[in-house]
Amino acid sequence: MFDRFLHNWWGTPFVGLAGGYLASLIGWPLPWMIGSLLAIILVRCLTPWQLAEIPNGRKLGQWIVGIGIGLHFTPVVMEQVAGHFGLIFFGALITSVSSAVGVWLMLRTGEDRPTAFFSSMPGGSGEMVNLGARNGADLSRVAAGQSLRVLAVVLCVPALFKFLLGEGTPISHEGGVDWAWLALIFPLAGLAAWIWQRLDQPNPWLFGPLLVSAVISVSFDLHIGLPDGGSQIGQWLIGSGLGCHFNRAFFRRAPSFLARTLVSTALTMAIAAGCALGLSALTQLDLRSLTLGMMPGGIAEMSLTAEVLQLSVPLVTAMQVMRLLFVLFLAEPLFRQWQKRRPLS
């Protein structure tokens, strides 16, 4: 019976909690996400205990985090974001275009064009796998490349920001917890996520709640936030879910491909940091927020990092969303044009 317990998902939340708690004790950034993520990966890689993802756990975590991100938006913040639309557009475009470095590296080392292209695009794993399937890519490598890119960014960026760049200037965005408003927002956000999912749209359990929360927050100028511990619960659920995608077999599969993915991710991050430095010098906007907004990571993870480090969450979120839209809408048309101009032999 104990063996059956070990091999289902019931152990996952406890391992994740233990990892998050230990990470919080040592002061690691995003402790409840990164700690739970690493704890799950270590258990799955070093023991026979193959922890499974909590059913709908990651969706629940994204639901909570999406609402929390949306509550950072206010009328004043929206005016600031709208005033920097050109910068947001340009920054997201740079991040998207810089993925060409990864495509070039993969092609130079013998990867086929569809796999090189869709494994290097900084979009969601599920969406890139679907696009790759329609265009003849090796789906296992696309999924591996996308997962490893997010893992590398999540593990490296928060730590680098905290220990090298320090804390950001505190930004006033919350006025407290209003349970009446939250009681309205949470079910509406869940309904929006369900509809978004039924429409087969990307990242529904993050985008749906984020949109509902932001619209209500801006419309009524709420200045409220999640209760204490809310963000940490979301981090824990997302980190625990992400960790279940990795095991010994993952890291043993095509090690040279994984190494190339790490190199291309590092190059893309370096390009983003360099461009953010230039944009910051031109606009006098916070370098940390611009750099984080241009990182090729997940929206939830980068927005949470901005929140924890007291940076501009709306600016980071807007740049991350814009980048994802670029990739989702332009990746496949660009790839097909590339194929027509340079047909495969």
Residue with tokens 């990571």: 297
Band (pLDDT 50/70/90 cuts) for residue 123 is: confident
Query: Within a domain: residue 122?
Result: no
Instruction: Tell the burial category of 266 from Cβ atoms under 10 Å away from its Cβ (0-12, 13-18, 19+).
Output: middle
Q: For position 27, what pLDDT does the model report?
A: 84
Query: Within a domain: residue 329?
Result: yes
Query: Within a domain: residue 145?
Result: no
Q: For position 162, what pLDDT does the model report?
A: 75
Domain count, the chain: 1
Q: For position 171, what pLDDT does the model report?
A: 46
Q: Among 104-113, 180-189, 212-221, 335-344, which stretch is predicted with the lowest mean pLDDT?
A: 335-344
Give the integer Cα–Cα distance in Å for 169 and 126: 35
Query: Within a domain: residue 74?
Result: yes
CA neighbours within 13 Å on the CB side: how many for 108? 9
Residue with tokens 């801006």: 218
Looking at the predicted structure, is the pLDDT value of residue 168 above 80?
no
Query: Within a domain: residue 35?
Result: no
Query: Within a domain: residue 65?
Result: yes
Residue 156 to residues 29, 46, 239, 243, 256: CA-CA distances in angstroms?
10, 22, 14, 15, 20
Looking at the predicted structure, is the pLDDT value of residue 166 above 70?
no
DSSP 37-73: HHHHHHHHHHSS--PPPPTTHHHHHHHHHHHHHHTT-
Residue 118 to residues 148, 150, 195, 267: CA-CA distances in angstroms?
13, 14, 27, 17
Give the integer Cα–Cα distance in Å for 228 and 226: 7
Query: Within a domain: residue 269?
Result: yes
Task: Read off the pTM.
Answer: 0.87
Band (pLDDT 50/70/90 cuts) for residue 170 is: very low
Domain that holds residue 62: 58-111+152-341
Looking at the predicted structure, is the pLDDT value of residue 335 above 90?
yes
pLDDT tens digits, 22-47: 999 988 888 999 999 999 999 999 99
Residue with tokens 């997940």: 298
Give the integer Cα–Cα distance in Å for 45 and 63: 29
Query: Within a domain: residue 156?
Result: yes
Looking at the predicted structure, is the pLDDT value of residue 167 above 60?
no
Looking at the predicted structure, is the pLDDT value of residue 172 above 50?
no
Give the integer Cα–Cα distance in Å for 302 and 51: 25
pLDDT tens digits, 188-227: 999 999 999 999 888 899 999 999 999 999 999 998 999 9
